[in-house]
């Protein structure tokens, strides 16, 4: 049994050896299990002994070992370097042991396109049918030697199977659409040698997208970056798929076997420069090098600075920096070359001077960064102008700020204290009358300066203690304990007055009652003045309240009042022997009393616990009751008043219209002979002796109302009439009958009848009324409304007049117009012309109609401006195809030409019946006219209100004739102008031509010299004023004879061109 097993294993081993021999230096994929596949790389050599790597896929069929493998042979029939067609040719073999679907196979050919252009693929010959072969072009990213494109060949389903030992031949072409050339000799997949098909591992084959034949090209590394740090430089780049490692060239030295996508060059000297490049490798080849990158090892900017300073100099030093060959120092912005020295001194400085210093090291290849900025100070001077003050427990020093000092020390009895940056120092909690010594020095970041001179100071005596006040109504006495060491005292009275005393008491007299006063004291001696004591307050006693009296009395209340006492905080009132605290009020109401009762009162002021004296006692009784059932009866012009008797009354007082009549005990009264329509008021009260009781309620009655007098109507407008009349005594309102309709609730003696038709008659009557009665109607009156105000007003402006028209008004017999405040009658005319006006002036107008009944309202005021002056000196200067129009304006009333517009802000031109507006200059050019054509023009001015002047007179003018010239191109000719003698002293000759068609060779060919610039022509009376843009202007002076001008031209065209000239 064991022998049988050994035989089976031997058979498997032999079959594997057979497969190796069959594929001949290929990669073999062995299937470990039936129906599965595995891929194995195998290193091999080709017939030229070149090593390469192949991959074979072996797939095992069910129940047997499966080997799925392909082999590619290639051949390039045309070996030319520059060629417009690539000819990749292949033989595809199935060297496995199972059929392969061709639709699962891909073949790739790698090349450079040598200029982007659209590419086309052709399969010229294939034993499986050309139509079953497809190709596509894939752009390869990154930088790879010999590769920027790939042709990928695939097969359609109709291509079928590739059986064992079968071969598919493919003859293909690649062309650019623009037929430009390829350079194929540097292409990755181009086979430079051999005239027959052979293995070539620079073309690749795939089954189901897995590489099974050939070696894919390797690109240069991507995104190579360099990082410089302390004594080292690190490179990193994108990780590449398909490579087995990397190589780095560092300063010309090759570093191999780098397995990760990073490399660090260690132990480098600071300030030195280093160059690097990187390439990828696989098991067979190395890829192209990357570009060189350069790095410089940083040189340190950290300096261990040692600094010393005096009042006039600063010295610095530092440790040597590795790699440094030179040092620079910057002092206050000035850069100093310090060579290789590591120390530097700045002298000749003032105390308290700050210098900004930083250091920079330079290596072989790098200037390092500046160090941090150091601010170094010279030592400050000793403080001066020290002042010293004291209190009973403190001593305070003050001194002037010292230049360059950041702080101060104060020496107290030989012990220095840090006073921070304060120029004031205070020592606290000292004994009074004790002495201290001090001195001060300034300091900054460089150290401490010299001490100041010694100063000495003592504390003051203690403040006054145990202050007391004894008070009266007109004086206060202040006392305090005597203080040891005090030679005298100062007393502050009421915060403003300070007096000096030689003893410890003071009597403050001649004060007002109930007033508050404050006091504080302090001791004095030769050293100074002590501190104030605590403030103490004293109050004089309050006064007796004045003017204590009864303010009001009723049947159940008595109200009392008195004058306020200055300084009082409250009042006590004694009522029938009982004392009541009344707060700070100066009035008191005693209520819930019986009628005709007598009560006694007195009052006193108080200020806290300080109480003043009582007033004299005051007695008062409550009032009698008011009479009840007051009845007032009106009968014609008589009024009868009656009321009920009041128990205890011995008489009554009757008030009629505010006047009281004293009556006996009778309880009725009759008032006779009263005027009609008069309102009267009545009330009554009881008397007991001279004491009056309360008033009864008031009764108001009115006698019969009268008829309104002096009724009159006033016409106020064309749609309203106002009526008025004299007021009727006692009336609370009026009724107005207007055109037979009653309007009630009229509360005044006027009425406005509105919304009426113009020029209509209306009638009116009025009567008075109150809450009880209505009076008689007045006699009827009548009135007419005014005619309506004119409408449809139209204003027409001219330069020196304005015409106003309006619509005729119904019922009007005439009209008036207010022109600039002056009223003018136009009789029955509905037109008015305002004449003799200045141009461009503002005028206002309103119109009203009138008839026998009066005048209408004025119409709404209209404001209108006259037009500006009519332009003068209007003329047209004509050329062949242009009209240059010019004019002037006149100032108001002067009549003299002006070069600037007067009143006009623009102008309008009528050119051949068409109006051209918004012209702001005193000239206008019209172009595009036909030669020898007739045109008509006139102009008018426009002011800021848009009002136009009258038109100028119409002028009729012709354009100039045009000369047509046809001369062959590059041919010269003379243009001769003969001007006869003119009756003027000077004139201009203006020549126009097309500068694109004609070139001027000589502006004045009459003389021998060439004239091609503006200026005076020597030996002639002619000046060339202008020469530009197809226009020449000759100025002729002293024109006492005819002139001939000859211009030499050179034709620039074979076509016809035009010329013209004018004499101006």
- Structural domains in the chain plus CATH codes: 2-213 (2.60.40.710), 225-296 (2.60.40.10), 305-377 (2.60.40.10), 387-458 (2.60.40.10), 468-539 (2.60.40.10), 549-621 (2.60.40.10), 631-702 (2.60.40.10), 712-783 (2.60.40.10), 794-865 (2.60.40.10), 872-958 (2.60.40.10), 963-1063 (2.60.40.680)
| Residue 58 pLDDT > 70 | no
Share of residues in the chain with pLDDT > 70 (%): 92
3-state secondary structure of 132: helix
Q: What pLDDT was estimated at residue 168?
A: 95
pLDDT single digits (tens) 941-995? 998 888 888 899 999 988 887 788 889 998 999 999 888 887 888 989 889 898 9
Task: State the Cα–Cα distance between residues 30 and 8, nearest whole angstrom.
Answer: 17
Residue 677 region by backbone torsions, left for phi larger than 0, else alpha for psi between -120 and 50, else beta:
left
Task: State the Cα–Cα distance between residues 674 and 967, nearest whole angstrom.
Answer: 129
Q: What pLDDT was estimated at residue 931?
A: 80
> Using an 8 Å Cβ cutoff, are 585 and 612 in contact?
no
H helices present in 501-628, as ranges: none
Q: What pLDDT was estimated at residue 517?
A: 92
Task: State the Cα–Cα distance between residues 30 and 22, nearest whole angstrom.
Answer: 14
> Using an 8 Å Cβ cutoff, are 205 and 70 in contact?
yes
All residues at 6 or more sequence positions from 402 whose CB lies less than 8 Å from its CB, including other chains: 352, 380, 381, 382, 383, 408, 442, 449
3-state secondary structure of 678: coil
Structure tokens at 800: 């020196």
Residue 928 region by backbone torsions, left for phi larger than 0, else alpha for psi between -120 and 50, else beta:
left
Q: How confident is the model at residue 55 (pLDDT cuts 50, 70, 90)?
A: very low
> Using an 8 Å Cβ cutoff, are 231 and 321 in contact?
no
Query: SS3 helix, strand, coil % of the chain, rounded to 5?
Result: 5, 50, 50
pLDDT single digits (tens) 288-332? 888 899 999 998 888 888 899 998 999 999 988 888 889 999 999
More confident residue, 276 or 890: 276
| Residue 53 pLDDT > 70 | no
Q: How many residues does the chain have?
A: 1064
Task: State the Cα–Cα distance between residues 283 and 776, nearest whole angstrom.
Answer: 138
3-state secondary structure of 850: strand
DSSP 870-936: PPEEEEEEE-SS-EEEEEEEE-TTT--EESS-SSEEEEEEEETTEEEEEE-SSEEEE--PPTT-EEE
CA 218 to chain centre: 58
CA atoms within 13 A on the CB side of 559: 7
Residue 718 DSSP class: S
Q: What pLDDT was estimated at residue 142?
A: 64
Residue 103 DSSP class: G
| Residue 800 pLDDT > 80 | yes
Task: State the Cα–Cα distance between residues 328 and 336, nearest whole angstrom.
Answer: 6
Query: Scanning the structure block, which residue is given the tokens 């009024």?
Result: 639
Task: State the Cα–Cα distance between residues 71 and 46, nearest whole angstrom.
Answer: 13
> Using an 8 Å Cβ cutoff, are 815 and 850 in contact?
yes
Q: How confident is the model at residue 64 (pLDDT cuts 50, 70, 90)?
A: low
Task: State the Cα–Cα distance between residues 930 and 883, nearest whole angstrom.
Answer: 11
| Residue 901 pLDDT > 70 | no
Q: What pLDDT was estimated at residue 242?
A: 62
Residue 290 region by backbone torsions, left for phi larger than 0, else alpha for psi between -120 and 50, else beta:
beta
Task: State the Cα–Cα distance between residues 755 and 753, nearest whole angstrom.
Answer: 7
Strands (E), 658-717: 659-663, 668-671, 679-688, 691-692, 699-702, 712-715
Task: State the Cα–Cα distance between residues 678 and 655, nearest whole angstrom.
Answer: 16
Q: How confident is the model at residue 865 (pLDDT cuts 50, 70, 90)?
A: confident
User: What's the 3-state SS for 782-817?
Assistant: EEECCCCCCCCCEEEECCCCEEEECCCCCCCCEEEE
> Using an 8 Å Cβ cutoff, are 774 and 735 in contact?
yes
Q: What pLDDT was estimated at residue 744?
A: 85
Q: What pLDDT was estimated at residue 902?
A: 57
Q: What pLDDT was estimated at residue 660?
A: 92
In sequence order, the β-bridge partners of residue 632 are 641
Task: State the Cα–Cα distance between residues 455 and 291, nearest whole angstrom.
Answer: 79
Q: What pLDDT was estimated at residue 221?
A: 84
Q: Single out the residue of 857, 785, 766, 773 nearest to residue 815, CA to CA.
A: 857
pLDDT single digits (tens) 648-664? 888 999 999 999 999 99
Residue 419 region by backbone torsions, left for phi larger than 0, else alpha for psi between -120 and 50, else beta:
alpha
Q: How confident is the model at residue 512 (pLDDT cuts 50, 70, 90)?
A: confident
pLDDT single digits (tens) 92-103? 999 888 999 999
Q: Residue 602 burial by CB count (10 A; 0-12/13-18/19+): exposed, middle or buried? A: buried
All residues at 6 or more sequence positions from 658 whose CB lies less than 8 Å from its CB, including other chains: 681
Supply the mean pLDDT for the chain: 85
Structure tokens at 404: 């360059």
CA 1057 to chain centre: 61
| Residue 371 pLDDT > 90 | no
Q: How confident is the model at residue 173 (pLDDT cuts 50, 70, 90)?
A: very high
More confident residue, 558 or 899: 558
């Amino acid at each position: 049994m064991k022998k049988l097993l050994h035989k089976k294993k031997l058979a498997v081993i032999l079959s594997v050896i057979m497969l190796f021999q069959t594929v001949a230096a290929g990669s073999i994929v062995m299937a470990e299990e039936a129906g599965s596949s595995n891929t194995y790389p195998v290193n091999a050599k080709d017939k030229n002994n070149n090593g390469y790597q192949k991959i074979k896929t072996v797939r095992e069929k069910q129940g047997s070992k499966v080997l799925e493998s392909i082999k590619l042979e290639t051949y390039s029939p045309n070996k030319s370097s520059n060629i417009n067609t690539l000819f990749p040719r292949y033989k595809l073999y199935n060297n496995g042991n199972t059929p392969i679907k061709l639709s699962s196979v891909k073949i790739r050919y790698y090349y450079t396109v040598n200029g982007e252009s659209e590419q086309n693929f052709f399969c010229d010959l294939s034993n499986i049918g050309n139509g079953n072969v497809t190709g596509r072009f894939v752009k390869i990213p990154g930088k790879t030697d010999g590769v920027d494109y790939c042709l990928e060949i695939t097969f359609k389903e109709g291509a079928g199977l590739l059986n064992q030992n079968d071969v598919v031949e493919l003859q293909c072409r690649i062309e650019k659409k623009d037929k430009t050339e390829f350079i194929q000799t540097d292409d990755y997949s181009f086979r430079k040698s051999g005239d027959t098909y052979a293995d070539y591992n620079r073309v690749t084959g795939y089954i189901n997208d897995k590489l099974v034949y050939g070696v894919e090209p390797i690109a240069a590394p991507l995104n190579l970056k360099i990082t410089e740090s302390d004594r080292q430089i690190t490179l990193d780049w994108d990780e590449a798929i398909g490579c087995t490692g990397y190589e780095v060239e560092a300063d010309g030295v090759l570093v191999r076997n780098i397995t990760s996508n990073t490399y660090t060059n260690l132990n480098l000297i600071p300030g030195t420069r280093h160059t690097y490049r990187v390439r990828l490798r696989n098991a067979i080849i190395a890829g192209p090098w990357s570009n060189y990158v350069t790095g410089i090892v940083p040189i340190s900017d950290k300096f261990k600075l040692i600094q010393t300073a005096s009042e006039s100099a600063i010295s610095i030093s530092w440790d040597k920096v590795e790699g440094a060959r030179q040092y620079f120092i910057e002092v206050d912005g000035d850069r100093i070359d310090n060579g290789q020295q590591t120390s530097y001194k700045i002298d000749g400085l003032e105390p308290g001077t700050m210098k900004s210093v930083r250091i920079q090291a330079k290596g072989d290849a790098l200037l390092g960064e500046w160090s941090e900025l150091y601010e170094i100070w010279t030592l400050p001077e000793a403080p001066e102008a020290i002042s010293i003050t004291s209190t009973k427990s403190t001593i305070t020093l003050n001194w002037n700020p010292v230049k360059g000092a950041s702080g101060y020390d104060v020496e107290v009895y030989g012990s220095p204290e840090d006073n921070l940056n304060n120029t004031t120092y205070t020592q606290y909690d000292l004994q009074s009358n004790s002495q201290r010594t001090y001195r001060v020095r300034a300091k900054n970041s460089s150290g401490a300066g010299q001490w100041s001179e010694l100063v000495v100071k003592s504390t003051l005596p203690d403040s006054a203690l145990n202050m007391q006040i004894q008070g009266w109504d007109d004086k206060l006495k202040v006392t305090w304990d005597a203080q040891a060491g005090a030679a005298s005292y100062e007393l502050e009275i009421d915060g403003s007055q300070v007096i000096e005393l030689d003893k410890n008491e003071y009597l403050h007299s001649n004060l007002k009652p109930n007033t508050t006063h404050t006091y504080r004291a302090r001791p004095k001696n030769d050293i100074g003045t002590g501190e104030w004591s605590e403030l103490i307050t004293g109050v004089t006693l309050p006064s007796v309240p004045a003017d204590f009296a009864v303010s009001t009395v009723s049947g159940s209340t008595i109200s009392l009042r008195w004058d306020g006492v200055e300084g009082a905080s409250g009042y006590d009132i004694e009522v029938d022997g009982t004392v009541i605290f009344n707060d700070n009020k100066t009035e008191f109401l005693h209520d819930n009393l019986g009628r005709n009762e007598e009560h006694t009162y007195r009052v006193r002021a108080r200020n806290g616990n300080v109480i003043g004296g009582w007033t004299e006692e005051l007695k008062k009784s409550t009032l009698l009751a008011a009479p009840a059932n007051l009845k007032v009866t009106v009968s014609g012009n008589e009024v009868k008043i009656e009321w009920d008797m009041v128990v205890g009354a011995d008489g009554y007082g009757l008030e009629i219209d505010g006047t009281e009549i004293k009556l006996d005990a009778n309880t009725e009264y009759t008032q006779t002979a009263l005027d009609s329509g008069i309102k009267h008021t009545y009330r009554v009260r009881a008397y007991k002796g001279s004491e009056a009781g309360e008033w009864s309620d008031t009764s108001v009655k009115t006698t019969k109302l009268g008829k309104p007098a002096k009724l009159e109507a006033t016409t106020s407008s064309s749609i309203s009439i106002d009526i008025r009349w004299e007021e009727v005594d006692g009336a609370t309102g009026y009724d107005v009958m207007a055109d037979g309709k009653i309007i009630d609730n009229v509360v005044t003696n006027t009425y406005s009848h509105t919304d009426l038709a113009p020029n209509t008659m209306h009638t009116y009557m009025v009567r008075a009324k109150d809450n009880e009665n209505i009076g008689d109607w007045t006699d009827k009156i009548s009135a007419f409304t005014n005619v309506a105000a004119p409408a449809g007003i139209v204003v027409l402006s001219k330069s020196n007049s304005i015409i106003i028209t309006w619509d005729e008004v119904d019922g009007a017999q005439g009209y008036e117009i207010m022109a600039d405040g002056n009223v003018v009658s136009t009789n029955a005319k509905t037109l008015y012309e305002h004449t003799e006006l200045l141009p461009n002036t503002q005028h206002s107008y309103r119109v009203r109609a009138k008839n026998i009944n009066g005048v209408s309202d004025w119409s709404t005021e209209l404001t209108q401006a006259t037009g500006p002056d009519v332009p003068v000196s209007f003329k047209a200067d004509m050329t062949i195809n242009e009209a240059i129009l010019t004019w002037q304006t006149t100032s108001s009333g002067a009549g003299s030409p002006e070069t600037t517009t007067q009143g006009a802000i623009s102008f309008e031109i009528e050119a051949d019946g068409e109006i051209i507006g918004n012209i702001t200059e005193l000239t206008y050019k019209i172009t595009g006219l036909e030669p020898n054509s007739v045109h008509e023009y006139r102009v008018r001015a426009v002011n800021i209100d848009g009002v136009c002047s009258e038109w100028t007179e119409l002028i009729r003018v012709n354009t100039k004739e045009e000369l047509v010239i046809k001369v062959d191109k590059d041919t010269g000719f003379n243009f001769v102008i003969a001007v006869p003698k003119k009756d003027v002293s000077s004139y201009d000759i203006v020549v126009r031509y097309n500068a694109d068609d004609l070139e001027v060779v000589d502006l004045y060919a009459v003389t021998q010299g060439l004239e091609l610039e503006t200026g005076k022509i020597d030996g002639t009376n002619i000046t060339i004023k202008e020469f530009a843009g197809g226009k020449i202007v000759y100025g002729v002076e002293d024109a006492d004879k005819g002139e001939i001008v000859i211009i030499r031209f050179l034709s620039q065209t074979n076509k016809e061109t035009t010329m013209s000239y004018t004499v101006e």
